Structure 1
Amino acid sequence: MSKEGKDNVKILDTDYAKEQYAKYAYQQRQIIFRRRRLMAVFVVAFVVFLSVGISLFNDYLRLQRLQDVKQETIAKQTEVKQKMANLKRDVALLKDDDYVAKVARSRFLYSKEGELIFPLPGNEAAEKADDSTTESSE
């Protein structure tokens, strides 16, 4: 039955009909061209957005690493400032003759005239001084 239906349709061979068929074919080609052009624009836009997104992500990761380094550096800086303050305090103390004499008496077991030194057990400085004096006397 479908074969019979196809046999019933005839194409007109007039100039107007040929012109209309040509217009229809041209419109179809234009539609296909527009679709392809639109697809090309979408592909280019996708590539651009993808590259920008990857770049932003990499910059974000780099920023995070730099912030971590910054935090570590700030922590080290506070440590160094504390050490500097302690060293400056020690330098100021070492300029005082009484403090130097006190340190020498406690660490190295020096004594003033008429003083007696009694080393106590557990006193590491006294034991080291005793070891060095016994070695030098032998």
Structure 2
Amino acid sequence: MVQFNKEKITELNTGYVKEHHLQQKIDAKKKRGLYRRLAAFMVVFSFFAFMLISTITSQMVSLEDKGKQEKHLKAKLEQTKNKKSQLKDEVHKLKDVDYIGEIARRDYFMSKKGETVFKVPGSSSD
């Protein structure tokens, strides 16, 4: 095998060789510029992707909280409607004289004329 001594080889200084070296330098600069632009683009893209993902995540959490709150409020509304119905029935009953008399005898131990009230030990009014 023949080995060449690089110190003995001289390079041609023709216009073509100089132009070729210049073109290689320009291509290397273009390649570095391309890599820098791509890196900058990736940083910007990553930033916007992070912001988008974080916004979507926070909105999903917010929607989930609103859904739970809606269920809670619907249950509370149903309870309120039931209580309203009970109170309307109570108002309707309180217009009846016999019902008022029954409550007065039960809660306040009142009696009609000629009626005797007995309290049994161990029984409670409620």
Q: TM-score if structure 1 supplies the norm length? A: 0.81
Deviations 1:91-116 (A, max 9, x none): 11000111111111121111111112
Which residue type is aligned with residue 78 of structure 1? E
1:14 alignment counterpart: 14
Residue 17 and residue 94 in structure 1: after superposition, are their counterparts in 2 closer, same or farther (change >3 A)?
same
Residues 1-138 of structure 1 aligned to structure 2 (within 5 Å)? 5-125=5-125
RMSD, aligned CA:
1.7
Identity of aligned residues (%): 28
Q: Which runs of 5+ in 2 are unaligned?
A: none
Aligned pair count reads: 123
Amino acid paired to 1:104: A
How many Å separate the matches in 2 of 1:6 and 1:71?
A: 84
Q: The residue matched to 1:6 in structure 2 has which SS?
A: coil
Residues in 2 aligned to 1:13 and 1:111: alpha-carbon distance in whole angstroms:
132
Q: Which structure is richer in relative contact order (CA contacts within 8 A, separation 6 or more)?
A: 1
Unaligned 5+ runs, structure 1 = 126-138
Looking at structure 1, the residues matched to 80 and 24 of structure 2 have their Cα atoms a distance apart, in angstroms, of 83
TM-score where L is the length of structure 2:
0.88
C-alpha offsets along residues 1-47 of structure 1, whole Å, 9 cap, x if unaligned?
xxx63224422111111111111111111111111111211111111
**Per-residue deviation, residues 43-87 of structure 1 (Å, max 9, x unmatched):** 111111011001111111111111111111111111111111111
Paired amino acid for 1:49? A
Q: Whose helix proportion is higher, 1 or 2?
A: 1
Q: Distance in 1 between matches of 2:114 and 2:14?
A: 141
